[in-house]
């Protein structure tokens, strides 16, 4: 997969990009010369570190957008200027049986994982249409295609994000703007590493044993997807090879959803 110079000089907004999957995607786009707007929860030190890294990779200015995406239409979206590539990655998780799921956390998971994407898409589409080019990439999940117990809000939000992806793709067909979803399975991020460490501690396992135990439940490959691989998928979706790829949901899940 190659994106090459196809994103050079373009501006990309990646939400939830101060760590994990979002940061990996931002770095991959920066490596190809895109100017990045990054977003997430970060203190001044982390902001400065991410900004310097993205600028060194791209040779372009990078900016931090501090908007909280969990509270309705985000403030300052229209002040960002033209955005050519939008990657909706911001999200959160909470697990509990349906009858015990805290209503306030249901609302927050839906807001951040689904509604935030709606608001950023709706706000940036007019500019993309005016310029006749745009790439919208929604980071869904294997849980946008299948379900797991105790993840009602997350599964509902990610299924909704896959549906939103299809609607936007249909509405934008023939206008130079594509909309696709990437659906990762287990990705080795700092948050997932915490789950591995907790499993190892609670079950008396070594760290490698806890990793294998986690993966075997869902991911037949027995391997984690890397943030670098997801970044390359995002770059590829911005390339001319994907000009006619829209409305798709791409599993990157080691066979999880093939079962």
Distance CA 39, CA 60 (A): 17
Q: Count the neighbouring beta carbons within 10 Å of the beta carbon of residue 154.
A: 24
- pLDDT score of 190: 85
- 165 and 248 belong to one structural domain: yes
- pLDDT score of 191: 82
pLDDT along the chain (259 residues), means of 10: 71 97 98 98 97 98 96 94 98 96 98 98 98 98 98 98 99 98 95 91 96 95 97 98 98 98
- 203 and 90 belong to one structural domain: no
The β-bridge relationship of strands 63-65 and 85-88 is unpaired
Residue 130 lies inside a defined structural domain of this protein: yes
Residue 134 lies inside a defined structural domain of this protein: yes
- 92 and 193 belong to one structural domain: no
**Residue 216 main-chain phi, psi, to 5 deg:** -65, -20
- 113 and 192 belong to one structural domain: no
- pLDDT score of 6: 83
- pLDDT score of 3: 44
DSSP output for 234-259: HHHHTSGGGTT--S-EEEESTTGGG-
In the chain, the number of structural domains is 2
- 149 and 212 belong to one structural domain: no
- 9 and 71 belong to one structural domain: yes
User: Quick one: which of 246, 87, 88 has its CA closest to 173?
Assistant: 246
Cβ atoms of 71 and 113 closer than 8 Å:
no
Range of the domain at 211: 188-224
> CATH number of the domain that 20 lies in?
3.40.50.720
- 99 and 202 belong to one structural domain: no
- 134 and 233 belong to one structural domain: yes
| Catalytic residue set | 154
Residue 62 lies inside a defined structural domain of this protein: yes
* Cα separations in angstroms, 98 against 102, 150, 156: 9, 7, 12
The β-bridge relationship of strands 249-252 and 11-14 is unpaired
Cβ atoms of 81 and 127 closer than 8 Å:
no
């Amino acid at each position: 997969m190659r994106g090459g110079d196809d994103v050079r000089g373009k501006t990309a907004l990646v939400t939830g990009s101060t760590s994990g999957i979002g940061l990996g995607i931002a770095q991959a786009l920066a490596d190809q010369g895109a100017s990045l707007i990054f977003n997430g929860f970060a203190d001044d030190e982390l902001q400065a570190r991410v900004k310097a890294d993205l600028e060194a990779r791209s040779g372009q200015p990078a900016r931090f957008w501090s908007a909280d995406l969990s509270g309705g239409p985000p403030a300052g979206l229209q002040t960002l200027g033209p955005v050519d590539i939008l990657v909706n990655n911001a999200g959160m998780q909470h697990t509990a049986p349906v009858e015990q799921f805290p209503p306030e956390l249901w609302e927050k998971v839906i807001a951040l994982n689904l509604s935030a994407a709606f608001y950023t898409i709706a706000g940036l589409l007019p500019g993309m249409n005016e310029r006749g080019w745009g790439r919208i990439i929604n980071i869904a999940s294997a849980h946008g295609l299948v379900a797991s117990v105790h993840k009602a809000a997350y599964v509902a939000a990610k299924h909704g994000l896959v549906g939103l992806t299809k609607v936007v793709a249909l509405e934008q067909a023939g206008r130079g703007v594509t909309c696709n979803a990437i659906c990762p399975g287990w990705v080795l991020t700092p948050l997932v590493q915490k789950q591995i460490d907790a499993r190892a501690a609670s079950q008396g396992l070594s760290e490698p044993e806890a990793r294998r135990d986690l993966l075997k439940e869902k991911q037949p490959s027995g391997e984690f997807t890397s943030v670098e691989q997801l970044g390359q998928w995002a770059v590829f979706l911005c390339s001319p090879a994907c000009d006619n790829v829209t409305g798709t949901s791409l599993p990157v899940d080691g066979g999880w959803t093939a079962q």
